Amino acid sequence: MQKFQYFFNDTALSESQLSELKAYLLDNRVKRAQIAVTHTTLHDVAKSWQQVNQPPAIWGLLNLWTETTTPIELSKLLDISHSSVVTENVVMPYKDQKGITPIEGSLQVATFKFNQQQSHDEHLNYWRNEHAAIACDLQTTVAYTQNYVAADNIDAVVEELFPVAALTNPLLYFAAEDKQQLKANMATLIASSNKFIDMSSLNVSHLQAYQLI
């Protein structure tokens, strides 16, 4: 199946809007759909994590899996900022859920360009085969997906699901038992990230994810 990602500017979607979107996607033969929107109950905490180095900010993300290579027109339902065909690498899968149900946790969505330190293929190989393991080992990640985009303004989208409590607890977020381990884990993650990410292009948001289909 082909995966499409749609970034949108809507900061809130009602249950009726989600139901309408689900029905529309089913009519268009979408096999699987997941949406992530701005937190309502954790708005201030989630906002403190937001980084915008390359506008626009990340307000919402819709993931669609279809058996066609043609994007679905969604402008009547969502304020789409941009969309892409992506190649995904699922490192840690989400738990299987049915219906319009919130996915437990906070979804960290990050977008970035690769830096100029190595070739594109070398960056992609390091990201997939080395950095992914470091990120999952040194954080309390419960789901992790890498999306390769290769668009003009972005190379990659990362989806990392964390326990909600990790947003206000650095020790929990970075899987550390004490401040010394916290410092070491953060240093290792930053060093690994700097090997392939152009930090001036990095955007980050924490969102509430829902399984639609």
The CATH number of the domain holding residue 17 is 3.30.70.100
Name the CA dihedral angle for 177, 204, 24, 149, rounded to a multiple of 10 degrees: -110
What is the model's pLDDT at position 40?
Answer: 78
pLDDT (tens digit per residue) in 155-195: 999 999 999 999 999 999 999 999 999 999 999 999 999 99
**Chain centroid to CA 4:** 13
Structure tokens at 89: 């690498």
Range of weakest confidence among 39-43, 69-73, 135-139, 194-198: 39-43
Please count the structural domains in the chain.
1
Cα R_g (the chain), whole angstroms: 17
**Prediction pTM value:** 0.94
- The C-alpha angle 83, 87, 91, rounded to 5 degrees, equals 120
Structure tokens at 173: 């977020």
Helix/strand/coil for 15: helix
What is the C-alpha separation between 4 and 72, in angstroms, rounded? 9
How much is the mean pLDDT over the chain?
A: 93
Print the domain residue range for 188. 2-211
Distances (CA, A) of 126 to 69, 120, 121: 28, 10, 9
What is the C-alpha separation between 197 and 156, in angstroms, rounded? 9
